[in-house]
Each structure stands twice: as structure tokens, then as C-alpha cells.
A and B are shown apart, each in its own frame.
Chain A
Amino acid sequence: KAGVTQTPRYLIKTRGQQVTLSCSPISGHRSVSWYQQTPGQGLQFLFEYFSETQRNKGNFPGRFSGRQFSNSRSEMNVSTLELGDSALYLCASSSQGAGTGELFFGEGSRLTVL
């Protein structure tokens, strides 16, 4: 059974640019949740999508957005990048929802903003 796939794995952007990250969940999983991981803050919840609907959103500015497609693949977008957006972005898939049990994480997309 294929795991969670995130692309790209590494990327470098400059301030003001925008970035789109992709996450393909485990086959059959309808929930995709996104997290930002930084050394000081740990894993912070960005949002969760379930069957193409955003069900919950964390405390991040509107520059952070996402969507989910009918095949459950999800993308997140960050516009007008700031230096503080440098982080590891992890997505996780789940069969029933981000809060119901086991989350399966991808390897992450490491974003560096210069």
C-alpha cells in the first residue's frame, strides 16, 4: 500500500513569491490535514480537508490556503512569502478525519524563504 506522497521535497523561494505544495494521501483516505513544523513551535495545524471540503482551519493568516480534489489529492498554497514561512510542511492522511485516530504523514516539503 503506497504511503503519503508530498512534492516537492525541497524548494527555495524569495520573499514575496508564492508556493504550491502537493499531497497525495493513502488510497481510500478522504482526509488530508496540513501542518507547519518549525524548531521553536513544533507541529502547528494549518487546515483539514475531507471529501473536498475544508472542515477546520488553524490560526494562520489568509496567505495560507488549500484545496482538495475529487481524487483526495490536496494542495496548499502560500502567497506573498515571508522569511518566517521557512519550515517543514507536513501533510497527513486519515480514513475518517484528522482527529479520529492514526495520521499517516508524508515526508514533508521543506521550504526555505530567502
Chain B
Amino acid sequence: QKEVEQNSGPLSVPEGAIASLNCTYSDRVSQSFFWYRQYSGKSPELIMSIYSNGDKEDGRFTAQLNKASQYVSLLIRDSQPSDSATYLCAVSKNNNDMRFGAGTRLTVKP
């Protein structure tokens, strides 16, 4: 079982729709959870972090965490073509490592 699992996609949504990206993790002691966005040919960049159960909203992005289910999700509202990228879920259980999922490729069609 991989430490962090994501559906590889591709996930395709029309412009203006809600994109829902999901992630599960295997280690129950994980404490910190992150979503990174990676455009094609570019390096990953952090878009959201979440540390406690519930929802965290930042503009069009909402991260959701359920530690009991070991599940993290990212919702992108009013999706734009510029949101087309690979989204990486990352999980940390201590200060000195970060484990990434393989990423979900999102395409937003105009």
C-alpha cells in the first residue's frame, strides 16, 4: 500500500464547475497535509495546507481533512483553464519529511 494515494486522472471538468480532488494516506500518525500544484514542465508550488479536521477555505480553494477516514480532499470552485495542472497531495508526520502522492492531472475545458 502506498503511503499517499491519489487517482491519477485525468480529471476533466468544464470551466466554471467544481473540481474535486481526493487523497488517502496510510499512516495514522500523519499530522500535516498539503496540496501542491504542478504545471507541466514546472516545479510544484504549495497552494493549501491543513492541519486539523474540517474545512479550510482560501479563495476558490477548499481543503477538507478527515483524520478518522485518513482522507484529504481539495475542491476548486469556479474552475478556470488556468487551473489545469497536476495536483499533488503531500503528507507529513514529523518535521523532516514530506511524502507525496503520484498526483491527479486536472484539465479544465473552456
User: Which residues of A line the B interface, CB within 8 A?
Assistant: 31, 33, 35, 40-45, 48, 50, 55-56, 58, 90, 96-103, 105-108
Question: Within the complex, what minimum Cβ distance (angstroms) separates B21 from chain A?
Answer: 14
Establish whether residues B96 and A50, one from each chain, have CB atoms under 8 Å apart when the complex forms. yes
Option from A43, A48, A100, A102 in Cβ contact (under 8 Å) with B100? A43
Contacts between the two chains (Cβ within 8 Å), count: 69
| Smallest CB-CB A-B distances: 5 pairs | A42-B102, A99-B92, A97-B95, A105-B43, A43-B100
Which among B44-52, B55-63, B68-76, B77-85 touches the partner chain? B44-52
Interface residue tally for chain B (C-beta within 8 Å): 23
User: Which residues of B line the A interface, CB within 8 A?
Assistant: 32, 34, 36, 42-46, 49, 88, 90, 92-103
